[in-house]
Amino acid sequence: MQQLKGKPRKETWKDKKEQKQATQEARQQITTVALPTLAMVVLLIVVFVYVATRPTINK
């Protein structure tokens, strides 16, 4: 059956399944990539602030 140009096509069960799988993969990447990267950035900021503001011992 040929689609009309201006009419959006109806979402099939295959489309829904692919979209659900893509969403699940994106959530998996958030936990495996984004969170550790964010943790490293926060750790670097904390270390930088500690080193920049630590008291120095003058002899």
pLDDT digits (tens, 9 = 90+) for 11-42: 888 999 999 999 999 888 888 888 899 999 99
pLDDT of res. 32: 87
Into how many domains does the chain fold? Answer: 1
CA distance 25 to 29: 6
Q: Is residue 6 part of a domain?
A: no
Q: Is residue 32 part of a domain?
A: yes
Q: Is residue 29 part of a domain?
A: yes
Q: Is residue 10 part of a domain?
A: no
Does residue 3 surpass a pLDDT of 70? no
Q: Cβ-count burial of 23 within 10 angstroms (0-12 exposed, 13-18 middle, 19+ buried)?
A: exposed
| Domain range enclosing 24 | 20-54
Q: Is residue 8 part of a domain?
A: no
φ/ψ of 29, rounded to 5, equals: -65, -30
Q: Is residue 59 part of a domain?
A: no
For residues 55 and 14, the model is more confident at 14
Q: Is residue 43 part of a domain?
A: yes
